[in-house]
Amino acid sequence: MLIKLLRACLGPYKKPIMLLVALQLLQTCATLYLPSLNADIIDNGVVEGDTGHILQYGGIMVAVSIAQVVCNTGAVFYGARTAAALGRDVRASIFDRVQSFSAREVGRFGAPSLITRTTNDVQQVQMLVLMTFTMMVSAPIMCVGGIIMALGQDVPLSAVLLAVVPVLGIAVSLIVRRMRPLFRTMQERLDTVNRVLREQITGNRVIRAFVRDGYEEKRFRGANTELTDVALSTGRLMALMFPTVMTVVNVSSIAVVWFGAHRIDSGGMEIGALTAFLSYLMQIVMSVMMATFMFMMVPRAEVCAERIQEVLETDSSVVPPVEPVRELRAHGHLEVRAADFRYPGAEEPVLRSVDLVARPGETTAIIGSTGSGKSTLLGLVPRLFDVTDGQVLVDGTDVRTLEPSLLARTVSLVPQKPYLFSGTVATNLRYGNPDATDEELWQALEVAQAKEFVEELEHGLHAPIAQGGTNVSGGQRQRLAIARTLVQRPEIYLFDDSFSALDYATDAALRRALSQETAEATVVIVAQRVSTIRDADRILVLDEGRVVGSGTHHELMDGNQTYREIVLSQLTEAEAA
């Protein structure tokens, strides 16, 4: 998964990658060359007392060192730039994919997990790429080059390396194997902490109202402790890694000095060669250390890449049409034909063979008990979900074949729980129509019975709105959401219980103003309150996902038992007449 993700995302950066690999190669060669130069200075300059030789080779050492620093800086620069670009691209890809998701996919992953995947998971992969470019490219060259150069200094002494390299390799891989499952658990527990935290922040008022602070604190502490526990377990393994490596390094240094001293004593080796050999040993161990560091990062990045790929490879269940219809001939004609809908994983369908026809200039109302499928039915029109059977037609065209932007322009849904974005009243109202003038905004506010309260706000149309619209009341939020839809001027208006938070007088005034404003449009209203819908041209009665009645208020009062029961639970016989 990691390789697949990297291959896909690093494709556009071949040139800088090639450049940085070349720079890393040069700087590693320079690093490998320096101990040999040093050995030459000791053996042929210091031991022989040749100052000219010392100055000449000293000069070369300075030049090689400068070249090494320049190449290293360049490699780190390009490495950091490419890694940052990769992070940006992956985040953008996840964002695009999530934008295409329907409610079903968002529900499957959950918002907190999608946020962790877009931020923390991408950062882990980005970090690995940065480390690879800045350290890992040079590690194998340094290891192999170090061994070759060490052999060049003294072949018998190089036997020490035969023991050092495998011992290090085995020790490191044993530790890394135990780390891998811990990293997966760590990312999952991070998800849990995010989920709990998010729920507690958004549900803050409920927590206070039910005095559940203690319970929630315990829940967060539990999630936090679980994350800490797994982080400590990986920390302990990491802590084990470095002493292991250092023990191998120190023991092998002693062995080199011991055997090297004997070889010098017997005249088989010079003192400069021994210092060079020690330097190469350090470089080899350093490269193994770098690889170790990488091995520690790879399992976590692998887990993160898997989680990222899972999002990127998930297709939306609401598929955009291949050859979309870009123009509609009629205007505002909505028809739901024998529609069935079943939520994924649910045993029973929520809607069964539902038929509905709504025409321009008419108001169609849907009433039914809680959970009878009213919101689900409205959600089928703007394709929040697609029917599992049957059809939804706008102006005679199946919504699944309509170009998504055309559908969005034609149909506008005011959801049961309206959402406002952080910004101002004006930016929210212009959400579906950025070119709307201030006069149009005020007009929409007037119809939505929100003009008065916006006028009273200190900055009027430019008054700030908090994320989610939490700084206005539920009723004000509903009215702003209705105004936002009016500004968009769609042909089909869908109001999902959008008047529920309004008092009776405001509800009546709003519907009066709305009927004039939307006289030409198709209006579908879902409501629990009979007074909201009794004047509708047609009322559809839903019961457990089936249409059990259709007609005007009076027709249904005369002939539909379910409707009568709903009405008489709210009004007296005289009021209902």
Encoded tokens for 369: 């008990």
* Minimum CB distance to ligand ATP, residue 86 (Å): 35
Give least dist CB 104 to ligand ATP, A: 8
Structure tokens, 485: 């839809």
For tokens 């130069």, the residue is 37
59 versus 107: smaller Cβ distance to ligand ATP: 107
**Closer residue to ligand ATP in complex, CB, 228/570:** 570
Tell me, what DSSP letter sits at residue 43?
A: I
The whole-angstrom separation of Cα 128 and Cα 115 is 20
By the 10 Å C-beta count (0-12 exposed, 13-18 middle, 19+ buried), 531 is classed as middle
Shortest gap between Cβ of 366 and ligand ATP (angstroms)?
8
Considering the complex, state which of residue 276 and residue 350 has its C-beta at the smaller distance from ligand ATP.
350
Q: At what angle do helices 51-100 and 122-131 cross, to 10 degrees?
A: 160
Smallest separation, CB 340 to ligand ATP (Å): 13
In whole angstroms, the minimum distance from the beta carbon of 376 to ligand ATP comes to 3
Tell me how far, at minimum, the Cβ of 342 lies from ligand ATP, in Å.
9
Minimum CB distance to ligand ATP smaller for 185 or for 416: 416
> What single letter denotes the amino acid at residue 67?
A
Output the smallest distance, CB 103 to ligand ATP, in A. Answer: 7
- Quick check: helix, strand or coil at residue 50? coil
Q: Which is nearer to ligand ATP, 416 or 506 (CB)?
A: 416
Tokens representing 540 are: 């559809």
| Contact by Cβ (8 Å): 351, 377 | yes
Quickly count: other Cβ atoms within 10 Å of residue 274's Cβ. Answer: 22
Rounded CA-CA distance 389/338 in Å is: 7
Closest to 547 measured CA to CA, from 387, 380, 386, 351: 351
Q: Give the nearer residue to ligand ATP in terms of CB position, either 398 or 544.
A: 544
Closest CB to ligand ATP among 285 and 366?
366
User: Which one, 450 or 536, has the nearer CB to ligand ATP?
Assistant: 536
- The tally of CA atoms less than 13 A away on the side-chain side of residue 258 is 7
Binding site for ligand ATP (CB under 6 A): 107, 343, 346, 350, 368, 370-376, 416
DSSP letters spanning 254-289: HHHHHHHHHHHHTTSS-HHHHHHHHHHHHHHHHHHH
The SS3 call for residue 76 is helix
Q: C-beta of 341: minimal distance to ligand ATP in Å?
A: 9
Strand partners, 423: 465
Nearer to ligand ATP, 266 or 370 (CB): 370
Instruction: Provide the minimum distance between the beta carbon of 528 and ligand ATP in the complex, in angstroms, as a whole number.
Output: 6
Dihedral angle of Cα 543, 547, 550, 554, to the nearest 10 degrees: -10
Q: Are 296 and 288 in contact (CB under 8 A)?
A: no
Return d(Cα 373, Cα 367) in angstroms, integer. 10
Closest distance to ligand ATP from the beta carbon of 226 (Å): 28
Q: Between 157 and 556, whose beta carbon lies closer to ligand ATP? A: 556
